Structure 1
């Protein structure tokens, strides 16, 4: 599957694709390489995809807590989709992934980034895809703040979202 994803990404024009054997190596890569988008699998050794995403989003040792993440899985049960969403993934793709579907997810991340939310038990992109015009209750998404917004639209995804003029090392 990794070779298929790499071929699809090259077809999109990606020139640098880093591959990691497991979540530990992927986390190390995030700390030492400039990564624009992470594509991870739900089922991995050592840490599964959900645990890996939580590590990226919540660890004080994380190099870029805002990096866009797409999760792939062969199992699309509702519980897995919700688990991935609640871990902080930006997008979710079911295997076998097609070029069209992966392209749609990448475009969504780049062109329509969702604001990041920080609550007592969650840090990641806003899990609500749209506002419900019929909702009349209180606004409970209090986590929106200047230090929890996604990268500035139109800027490189490797830039610090708080300082659009500086690259993340």
Structure 2
């Protein structure tokens, strides 16, 4: 910790992702004040992904060395912090799935903390923050070297709050219940990675090109067989949409609340889909967003469109229909065109003139 406190931060590279220019500037200034040597900032998750890709292959002595720590805001458009964390931890194109990550939010609650931990973040902190609390979070995340676990539903650092302390050399010798390597035990998708503490070498000023990252490289080769993609991370969202629609259809008194819930999810899927390689997700979400604005007195016709659009969205997710989707994508696009034609007759009436309510 002393090395990281007083010397090592100047050798570390931090990437900040936040759609607020003021917050980016504040964080960059604060990070430099506590001694971080390289700080780069981006305005959203898409830009962060591009930076992570570029920096992984750029000169390690240049202005954009590989990222040691990613700090991201929770709520960003068009791609937010949680989706960015998923990409870092689970996507096959992630240059380093063991990258240290921190997520921040101005509206932090227990549910958000739990979701963040389940996505594999190393730390969560609230805004506004003091420079002392920021320093504490940074040094804790960069100094510790937790084992990383892979299970059927999780990949990330050890989530136990009271893991036994052990230096790296002791970890290699002591047999522990979670010491099984991924792919060799009874359950092929469950295992543990206990990598060398590369950041401690970086903190001591050792040139990156002289560090042996061989174990990390082998770990990535093993993890390639367990990669995920955007559709894997939104399956739960599609299930929520289907449940919310069913409740809205069966219970008119719950309709407005459930349609509002659907609207929030649909808006996020609409803006993320194309950016993350699934334009049909954006297209079906756009149709759903328009259906929400339909005349409330035409619920039966609107419900038919909702049901068909949700089925199309579910097909894209289940069959992993990327890009134009080939023959499946062509059929889905045709279905989508027919749905949009039906929507033309369901445009919302003037709410003030007609005295009716609209969803959304």
TM-score (normalizing by structure 2): 0.40
Q: Structure 1's 76 and 141: CA in aligned 2 closer, same or farther, altered over 3 A? A: farther
Q: Structure 1's 65 and 100: CA in aligned 2 closer, same or farther, altered over 3 A? A: same
The answer to whether residue 42 in structure 2 is matched with residue 20 in structure 1 is: yes
The answer to whether residue 140 in structure 2 is matched with residue 87 in structure 1 is: no
- Where is the helix percentage greater, Structure 1 or Structure 2? 2
Where does residue 162 of structure 1 map in the other structure? 215
Once residues 115 and 141 of structure 1 are traced to their aligned partners in structure 2, the CA distance between those partners, rounded to angstroms, is 9
TM-score (normalizing by structure 1): 0.82
1:104-143 matches, within 5 Å, as: 104-131=136-163, 139=177, 143=190
Q: Specify which structure has the bigger relative contact order, considering alpha-carbon pairs within 8 angstroms and separated by 6 or more residues.
A: 1
Once residues 151 and 67 of structure 1 are traced to their aligned partners in structure 2, the CA distance between those partners, rounded to angstroms, is 13
Where does residue 194 of structure 2 map in the other structure? 149
For residue 40 of structure 1, the aligned residue among 72, 76, 98 is 72
Per-residue deviation at 1:8?
0.9
Q: Is the 8 A contact 1:70 1:92 kept in 2?
A: yes
Q: Is the 8 A contact 2:88 2:94 kept in 1?
A: yes
Q: Structure 1's 109 and 144: CA in aligned 2 closer, same or farther, altered over 3 A? A: farther
Per-residue deviation at 1:113?
2.3
Once residues 35 and 52 of structure 2 are traced to their aligned partners in structure 1, the CA distance between those partners, rounded to angstroms, is 21
Where does residue 96 of structure 2 map in the other structure? 64
Q: Is the 8 A contact 1:115 1:144 kept in 2?
A: no
Query: Which segment is superposed worse, 107-116 or 95-104?
Result: 107-116
After superposition, give the CA deviation of every residue in 1:2-40 in whole Å (9 maximum; x if it has no partner): 211111100122232111121011011111111111110
Q: Is the 8 A contact 2:149 2:158 kept in 1?
A: yes
Once residues 25 and 163 of structure 1 are traced to their aligned partners in structure 2, the CA distance between those partners, rounded to angstroms, is 25
Q: Structure 1's 93 and 111: CA in aligned 2 closer, same or farther, altered over 3 A? A: same
The answer to whether residue 74 in structure 2 is matched with residue 29 in structure 1 is: no
Per-residue deviation at 1:121?
1.0
Q: Would you say how many aligned residue pairs link Structure 1 and Structure 2?
A: 156
Q: Structure 1's 2 and 84: CA in aligned 2 closer, same or farther, altered over 3 A? A: same
Q: Is the 8 A contact 1:115 1:150 kept in 2?
A: yes
Once residues 62 and 45 of structure 1 are traced to their aligned partners in structure 2, the CA distance between those partners, rounded to angstroms, is 20
Which residues of structure 2 form unaligned runs of 5+?
1-22, 56-65, 165-176, 181-189, 218-360
For residue 83 of structure 2, the aligned residue among 22, 40, 51 is 51
Where does residue 32 of structure 2 map in the other structure? 10
Once residues 110 and 144 of structure 1 are traced to their aligned partners in structure 2, the CA distance between those partners, rounded to angstroms, is 23
